[in-house]
Amino acid sequence: MVKKWERLNSEYLGDFRIFRARADNSRSPRTGNVHRFFVLETPDWVNIIPLTPEGNVVMIHQYRHGTEEITLEVPGGMVDEEDGDPAVSAARELREETGYEATEVIHLGSVAPNPAFLDNRCHSYLARDARHVTGMKLDGAEDIAFTEIPLAEIPDLISNGTITHSLTIDAFYFLELYQRRNNQ
């Protein structure tokens, strides 16, 4: 049986704005030996699938600095503690990144983006009856353009590699499982 490791001590390595890097020395319950692990502390994230009354998903094109590529994703971002509830953060990101608002925001599921070295969760939501009501509100480091895509086309866009963001793909699987449970 796999057991928890004992974290003996930690050292902070640096603060990279959205991350705080930490090194932990932890003892293996199997061998008793101590190993060093690298962990990034970061707030929870959210993403949201905005579904219009016509059955389209509102998606965004965005330049991403990790892969240095323009991606096709659903809106999302970091949970702001001031929001109180990740669902509020998700609706805020939707509004800021696309100018859409929804009548109902439903939690679809949550994942550990990478339990090996990230300490956070990413929560996925469905925004029902999303409608374009206002302008976008981007900060200077964001370049975003939104587009509507029929929900029925999403599986092909995942299969053919047009949609690559792991967390966006998780959100769409959660939506399929949600619709299957609710016979939609």
Q: Which of residues 121-140 bind its own copies (CB under 8 A)?
A: 121-122, 140
> Which CB, 129 or 143, lies closer to its own copies?
143
Q: Is 157 a binder of its own copies (CB under 8 A)?
A: no
Does position 35 bind its own copies by CB under 8 A?
yes
Q: Which residues pair with residue 38 across a beta bridge?
A: 23
The whole-angstrom separation of Cα 80 and Cα 86 is: 8
Residues 6 or more apart whose CB falls under 8 angstroms from that of 160 comprise none
Nearest Cα residue to 40 out of 24, 20, 26: 20
- Binders of its own copies among residues 45 to 64 (CB under 8 A) are 61-64
By the rule CB under 8 A, 141 interacts with its own copies: yes
Span interacting with its own copies, options 16-24, 81-89, 94-102, 129-137, rule CB under 8 A: 16-24
State yes or no: residue 170 binds its own copies (CB under 8 A): yes
Q: Give the CA angle between residues 71, 59, 131 to the nearest 5°.
A: 160
